[in-house]
Chains A and B, each alone.
Chain A
Amino acid sequence: MALDRVVAEPILELEGISKSYGGVKALTDVSLTLRPGEVVALVGDNGAGKSTLVKTMAGVVKPDKGRYTFEGKNVSINGPSDASDLGIQTVYQDLSLCNNLDAVQNLFLGREQTLPWWRGGRIQRAECEVRARQVLRKLRLDSIALDRNVGAMSGGQRQNIAIARSILWEPKVVLLDEPTAALSHSAAEQVGVLIRELAAHGLAVLVISHDIHHFVIDVTDRIEVLRLGQNAASFSSKDVTGERVVNAMVGGEEGINSAG
Chain B
Amino acid sequence: MSSADQGLETTFKATAKRSIADRLANELRFVPVAVGLLALFIFFATQSEVFLTSRNLNNLMIQSTVTGIIALGLVFVLLTGEIDLSVAGTSGVASVFMAKLVVDFGAPVGVAVFAGVMCGVLIGAASGRWITLIGVPSFVVTLGVGLVLNGVQLMILPRTGRYNLLNTGVDEIASTTISGTGAWIIFAVAVGAVSWVRWSSYHARKSQRLPASFGQMVLLPVAIIGGSLLVLVLVLSSLKGLPMPIILFLGLLGGCAYLTGETRFGLYLYAIGNSAEAARRAGINVNRIKIAAFAIAGGLAAFAGILAASRILGVSVSSGGGIGGGALLLESIAAAVIGGVSLFGGRGRIVGVLFGAMIIATVSNGLNLMGVANEARLIVTGLLLVLAVSIDRGIEKIAGPS
Indicate whether A and B interact.
yes
**Nearest residue, chain B, Cβ from A130:** B208
Interface residues on B, range: 35 or more
A125-B201 contact, Cβ under 8 Å, with A110-B283, A143-B14, A147-B15: yes
Contact of B100 with A by CB under 8 A = no
Q: Which of B271, B281, B282, B402 contacts A151 (CB 8 A)?
A: B402
Assembled-state Cα–Cα distance A111/B347 (Å): 22
Interface of A is mostly: loop
B277 touches A96 (CB 8 A): yes
Given A123-B267, A126-B204, check contact A96 B275 (CB 8 Å). yes
Instruction: Contact check, A129 vs B208: say whether CB atoms are below 8 A apart.
Output: yes
Q: Are B11 and A127 in contact (CB under 8 A)?
A: no
Q: How far is the CA of A225 from the CA of B275 in the complex (A)?
A: 34
Kindly identify which residue among A100, A111, A130 contacts B273, using a CB–CB cutoff of 8 Å.
A100
CB of B262 within 8 A of CB of A130, answer no
How big is the A interface, by class?
35 or more
The residue on A at minimum CB distance from B399 is A152
Q: Interface stretch among A114-122, A205-213, A229-237? A: A114-122
Question: Is A203 part of the binding interface, using a Cβ–Cβ cutoff of 8 Å?
Answer: no
Q: B107 on the interface (CB 8 Å rule)? A: no
Q: Mark A88-119, 1 if CB is under 8 A from B, else 0.
A: 00001011111111000100011110100000
**Known contacts being A122-B262, A125-B201, is A96 close to B281, with CB within 8 Å?**
yes
From residue A7, how far is it (CB to closest CB) to chain B in Å?
29
| A120-152 interface (Cβ within 8 A of B) | 120-127, 129-130, 133, 137, 142-149, 151-152
CA distance A112 to B270 in the complex (A): 14
Asked whether, in the complex, the Cβ of A124 is within 8 Å of the Cβ of B204, the reply is yes
Give complex CA distance A130, B278 in Å.
24
**Bound-state Cα–Cα, A147 to B18, Å:** 9
Query: Which residues from chain B contact A125 at a C-beta distance below 8 Å?
Result: 201, 204-205
User: What residues of chain B lie closer than 8 Å to A100, measured between beta carbons?
Assistant: 270-271, 273-274, 346-347, 402
CB–CB B282/A101 < 8 A: no
Cβ contacts under 8 Å, A121 to chain B: 262-264
Measured between beta carbons, the chain B residues less than 8 angstroms from A124 are 204
- A137–B400 alpha-carbon span in the complex (Å): 27
B132 interface hit (Cβ, 8 Å): no
A152 to B401, Cβ gap below 8 A?
A: yes
> How far is B400's CA from A164's CA once the two chains are assembled, in angstroms?
24
Assess the A105–B274 pair: CB atoms within 8 A. no
Chain A interface residues toward B at CB < 8 A: 92, 94-101, 105, 109-112, 114, 120-127, 129-130, 133, 137, 142-149, 151-152
Q: List 17 A-B contacts (CB under 8 A).
A: A94-B277, A96-B277, A97-B275, A97-B278, A99-B274, A99-B402, A101-B270, A105-B271, A120-B258, A121-B262, A121-B263, A121-B264, A122-B263, A126-B204, A129-B208, A133-B12, A144-B12
Which 10 pairs of residues, A with B, have the shortest CB-CB distance? Answer: A151-B402, A110-B282, A126-B204, A110-B283, A145-B14, A96-B278, A109-B282, A100-B274, A100-B346, A98-B274
